[in-house]
Structure 1
Amino acid sequence: MTGLIQVVGGAVVDRLADPAALLVARRSAPEHLAGLWEFPGGKVEPGEEPETALLRELAEELGIGVHLGPELHAETPEGWPLNDRASMRVWFAEVTHGEPMPLEDHDELRWVDLHDREAVLALPWIPADYPIVHALLDSVVSPLGGAS
Structure 2
Amino acid sequence: MLELKQVVGAALVDSLAAPTKMLAARRTAPEQFAGMWEFPGGKVEPGESCEEGLHRELREELGVEVLLGAEISGPGPQGWPLNDRAAMRVWLAEVTRGVPAPLEDHDELRWVALDPKELAALDWIPADLPIVSAMLDAAGPH
Q: Please indicate the TM-score interval, normalised by the length of the shorter structure.
A: over 0.9
Cα distance in 1 for partners of 2:139, 2:68 equals 16
The amino acid of 1:105's aligned partner reads: D
**TM-score of the two chains, using structure 2 as the length reference:** 0.96
Cα distance in 2 for partners of 1:30, 1:140 equals 30
The gaps in structure 1 that reach 5 residues or longer are 143-148
Cα distance in 2 for partners of 1:110, 1:10 equals 14
**How much does 1:141 deviate?**
2.9
Q: 2:101 aligned with 1:104, yes or no? A: no
**TM-score of the two chains, using structure 1 as the length reference:** 0.92
Q: 2:54 aligned with 1:48, yes or no? A: no
Residue 18 (structure 1) aligns with: 18
Residue 69 (structure 1) aligns with: 69
- Give the 4+ runs in structure 1 shifted more than 3 A: none
Provide the identity percentage. Answer: 65
Cα distance in 2 for partners of 1:40, 1:34 equals 14
User: Would you say how many aligned residue pairs link Structure 1 and Structure 2?
Assistant: 142
Cα distance in 2 for partners of 1:7, 1:44 equals 6
Q: CA RMSD in A?
A: 1.5
The gaps in structure 2 that reach 5 residues or longer are none
SS in 1 for 2:112: strand
Cα distance in 2 for partners of 1:92, 1:65 equals 13
